[in-house]
Amino acid sequence: MAYNAKVIRIFITSPGDVQKERGLTRETIHEWNMLNSVARGIILLPVGWETDSVSSYGAPPQDDINMKLLKSCDLLIGVFWSKLGTPTDQYPSGSVEEIELHASQGKQIMLFFSKAAIPQSLIDEKQLAALRKFRKSINGKCLYKEYEDSDKFKELLSVQLSAKLQESWVLADNTLANPIAETIQDTVKATDIVKFNITKWSEFLNLQIMSDWISCLTTASPYISVPIYEQLEKLTQWILTRDWKPEHTLYSDSFYKFRLILRDLLDVIMSSSDVTDREIYRVEKRYNNIEWNPDKYEKLANDYNFRVELIQDLASELCRATNFILDMYRRDIDPMFYIDTGRIYITTGMHEDLRYHFHVVRFRDEDTTIPYSNLNQFKIERKNRDISMGRGISCTDPEFLEWNNRC
């Protein structure tokens, strides 16, 4: 589909000793166009005497270049190495004349000077002296960049050109209607929001060590450190303030349900735990400090087991939700995101084989959203997850009692 775009003509000037750099300049411009022209609504057009001038008679070649090519250009890129170039009637070289005329019109200029060693056979003392004089004359007038070799030049030019095209002289009057560019820019902005939110979310979760701290909640005696608990509390508040674009409802819905799981998990932990001397929240065994009363002891022991299993299941559910969001983000936007960490896992045990078991917990493949609605419903549905530690809706539920007394 055709689209409107602003054309920026870029004049390339240099003496004849940097032909490779002239070619690399055109190559860099074409690469920028391929990556950015549609999204930005801008096309860069390289201009140079070797490709854009035509045969003529009656005027000096330099005047012809100045009138027909240079005058219509918006940006000039100049490259120098071992010489300044051939003098003209009024200037020490054609390149200097082009730079001065371009500058006199208040237009943009980028200059590059090579620091590469000059072979003895190419050294021309007069040209070197003229080049040094020119460089001295522009000190204080402009900023120029130096490069070490042609590979470094291309890398430097690419960075400098991208930065130059973010300046106000490009943005101020880029008002051409470009529906395609506007649509792509909107998509880029929306994707940037997702990237920021996912990155910040992963930092709150300490994603690289999440398998370690969440496994502390799925062992036989669940606990969590106070600093991690406080960090997760901040995460529940942070999620509420997120901004999402309409096209990213799956992410916003996933974050919303992730927060429901996290909020329920933190609430159950807080209502079931005491802070120990080691600055951790550990589920409290309330049946340890009572008078001899078998019925009360059994009821409190059942309550403890129910709370432990519920915390284990909620921690596993949080792990599933984390893997769901990670899989979605890696599929849609960045396949390498925390690729060294991979999927988050939980640890259970110690088991009858005297070992801890490791599990990568996930929702079913057919689940297109996180299947969590509220805590009460989860208590009923958790037995259908890939791994489940508990059963029932309370410590007096017959389903729980049967499950608790199975061994």
Domains of the chain, residue spans: 6-177, 183-404
Phi, psi for residue 29 in degrees, rounded to 5: -65, -45
Residue 143 confidence (pLDDT): 83
Report which of 290, 311, 310, 313 is spatially closest to residue 300, judged by C-alpha positions. Answer: 290
Q: Report strand pairing: 144-147 vs 42-47.
A: unpaired
CA–CA distances in Å: residue 119 to residues 81, 130, 153? 12, 18, 19
Whether the model pTM is above 0.75: no
For residue 2, the model assigns a pLDDT of: 55
The pLDDT assigned to 355 comes to 86
pLDDT of 172 reads 65
User: Reduced to 3 states, what is the DSSP secondary structure of residue 275?
Assistant: strand
The class of domain 6-177 in CATH terms is alpha beta
* Radius of gyration (C-alpha) of the chain in whole angstroms: 34
Helix (H) or strand (E) holding 13: strand 6-13
> Which pLDDT score is estimated for 247?
82
Per run of 10 residues, the mean pLDDT along the chain (length 407 residues) is 77 93 94 84 85 41 60 92 91 92 91 95 94 91 89 92 88 54 51 88 94 93 93 94 85 95 96 82 73 79 93 97 96 91 90 87 92 96 95 94 84
Q: pLDDT, tens digit, for every residue of 113-170?
A: 999 999 999 999 999 999 999 999 998 778 899 999 988 999 999 999 998 998 888 8
Instruction: Beginning with the edge strand found earlier in the chain, give each strand of the sheet holding 273-275 in spatial order.
Output: 223-225, 280-283, 273-275
What is the pLDDT at residue 384?
A: 95
Dihedrals phi, psi of 306, to nearest 5 degrees: -65, -45
Q: What pLDDT is stored for residue 23 in this prediction?
A: 93
pLDDT value at residue 63: 56
